[in-house]
């Protein structure tokens, strides 16, 4: 259960032992939570299904312990086309990303037929990402000085509870009233009995 003033969640291999349908439902719930609450959720997944992969906003692609790509999901395909690799139309993007980094599978995605393919290492991908527009934008964001005037007053929580006791009481009372209204027939029947 995720409660409290936490705005960042880090989850490792949440799909272990789950089928793809359950993983999809969990990631859908987490996506809605992140969008509604404004939280940051970092999830590591191995070989996600295309449906689950489509739920993510940003991608951090790692290989050999190094970050190859870090940015919007919408730009990841463009980045690999910039590097000379194209995802086939019937191939899932998540599978393509896993295979384009491996030495044995990389050649099948090379789309410059007039040039011979040579293995593009992780370090070459990292150097290409620094030249790519998403990498330059990320670099500018990271090196921009922090402006205290843009800081939100609720960015840090100094209280262990996210709500006051009175607000928690009102929320619980509202929930119980709603449950009572939903089961009003049962309450009336038991009272008459």
Provide the pairing of β-strand 8-12 with 40-44.
Answer: parallel
Other C-beta atoms closer than 10 Å to the C-beta of 127 total: 13
Other C-beta atoms closer than 10 Å to the C-beta of 4 total: 12
What is the reported pLDDT for 111? 81
Cβ-Cβ contacts under 8 Å for 108 (sequence gap 6 or more): 99
d(CA 17, CA 171): 35
d(CA 122, CA 120): 7
d(CA 109, CA 81): 10
Q: pTM of the full predicted structure?
A: 0.66
Given a cut of 70, the residues of the chain with pLDDT beneath it are 1-5, 150-162
What is the reported pLDDT for 186? 85
d(CA 140, CA 59): 18
pLDDT, tens digit (0-9, with 9 covering 90-100), for 19-30: 888 989 999 988
What is the reported pLDDT for 155? 61
């Amino acid at each position: 259960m995720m409660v409290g003033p936490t705005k960042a969640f880090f989850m490792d291999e949440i799909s272990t032992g789950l089928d793809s349908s359950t993983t999809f439902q969990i990631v859908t719930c987490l996506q809605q939570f992140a969008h509604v609450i404004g939280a940051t959720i970092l999830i590591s997944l191995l070989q996600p299904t295309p449906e689950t992969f489509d739920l993510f906003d940003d991608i951090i692609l790692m290989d050999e312990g190094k970050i190859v790509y870090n940015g919007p999901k919408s730009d990841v395909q463009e980045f690999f086309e910039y590097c000379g690799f194209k995802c086939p139309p019937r191939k899932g993007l998540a599978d393509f990303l896993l295979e384009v980094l491996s030495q044995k599978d990389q050649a099948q995605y090379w789309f410059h037929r007039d040039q011979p393919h040579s293995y593009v290492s992780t370090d070459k991908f990292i150097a290409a990402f620094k030249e790519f527009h998403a990498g330059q934008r990320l670099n500018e964001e990271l090196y921009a000085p922090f402006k205290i005037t843009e800081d939100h007053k609720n960015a840090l929580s100094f209280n262990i509870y996210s709500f006051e006791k009175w607000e928690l009481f009102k929320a619980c009372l509202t929930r119980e009233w709603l449950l009572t209204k939903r089961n009003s027939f049962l309450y009336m029947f038991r009272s008459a009995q």
